[in-house]
Amino acid sequence: MNFRPTVPKLQFNPRIIFAFLLLIISIASALVLTHRVGARAYYYQVKKELLAGTQFSIDNIQTVSLVKSGISPIYIQAGQPILGKTATHDLAPGELISSSAIGIIENQTFKVIELSTPKANFASDIKPGSRVDLYVIPNPNSPGTSSGGAKKVLSYAQIVDIDLQSANLGGEINFSLKISPADLSNFFNLLSGKNIEVISDEN
């Protein structure tokens, strides 16, 4: 007489299987989310203070690794070609470099020009390094000039130096500022026969 061993039948509980699948899906989702949140990338960062018009170089910028999820897409990731391009505005050490901070003109050379204007037309809070707007005011004593109000001819220019001796003497004050070749091309024609008014543009 032959005896066959009894093989227990496996019973699958649909609820247990469903719960197990949910657990696996939750773990997988958590791993993917953690990976995305923790993903890092290298960004360009200012190493030392940069003035507008300064070219980006290995001496004044560096790369820093940051979590991508906390960084705005306006900031430039390392690997993008910015060396040799110019800063469009002043940048402080530690500041990330955004797309708006990169000039479209490469290797631009700024010129330093010397000007003078009545002391009353030169804002008292301006100092070397200040950003200023320049306006021209028609001079009624100059022949061939038309009457009219002040007209802006230059925006966000940088003061290089101020002749304090001439300022203390009164009358005319002498100063120098940086100007791009594009602005310089017609600048002196706009000044012909007119007075200059210099207004701070630090805001």
Predicted local confidence at residue 107, as pLDDT = 45
Q: What is the pLDDT of residue 25?
A: 79
Torsion of Cα atoms, 45 then 47 then 51 then 55, to 10°: -80
Q: What is the pLDDT of residue 5?
A: 58
Nearest-angstrom CA–CA distance, 111 and 163: 18
Full-model pTM: 0.44
Place of tokens 């050379």: 109
Per-residue pLDDT of the chain (203 residues; tens, 9 = 90+): 555 555 555 565 677 777 777 778 777 766 665 555 568 888 899 998 888 878 888 888 888 888 887 788 888 888 777 877 888 888 889 999 988 888 754 445 677 888 888 888 888 888 888 888 888 887 666 554 445 677 888 877 888 888 877 666 767 888 888 877 667 766 777 776 677 777 776 55
- 110: nearest Cα among 178, 182, 184, 183: 178
Q: Measured between alpha carbons, how far is residue 120 from residues 110, 125, 190, 197 in Å?
A: 28, 12, 20, 8
CA distances from 41 to 47, 58, 71, 76, 104 (A): 18, 19, 10, 10, 24
Q: How far is Cα 118 from Cα 170, in angstroms, rounded to an integer?
A: 8
